[in-house]
Amino acid sequence: MAKSIKSKIYNIIDEIKDEAVLQMVMEDIAVYTSRKDITDELSPDQQKELDAALLEIDKKEGISWEAFKQELSSWRQK
């Protein structure tokens, strides 16, 4: 089973031609394969911001997925 999944992942990655996309994939994979908690690297201020953001989500004060994608798209255009 794992071999089949790996093969599919290899094929998907092999089709990617955009170096920026490959860089993003590499960074994502590094996060998933790391044994450390990514939040351990946050400064106290960053941790407070993350905690505040999570509280907003719990209170349903976050933005929709569609709004997030639009905002992300505008960041990429800059």
Give the start-to-end residue ranges of the domains of the chain. 1-35, 43-78
List the structure tokens of 1. Answer: 């089973």
Q: How far is CA 62 from CA 27, 28, 56, 58, 66, in A?
A: 25, 23, 6, 8, 12
Mean pLDDT (whole number) for 53-74: 88
Asked if residue 24 has pLDDT above 90, the reply is yes
pLDDT band at 36 (very low <50, low <70, confident <90, very high): confident
Element spanning 18, H or E: none
User: What is the pLDDT at residue 78?
Assistant: 58
**Per-residue pLDDT, 47:** 95
**Whether the model pTM is above 0.95:** no
Choose between 20 and 37: higher pLDDT: 20
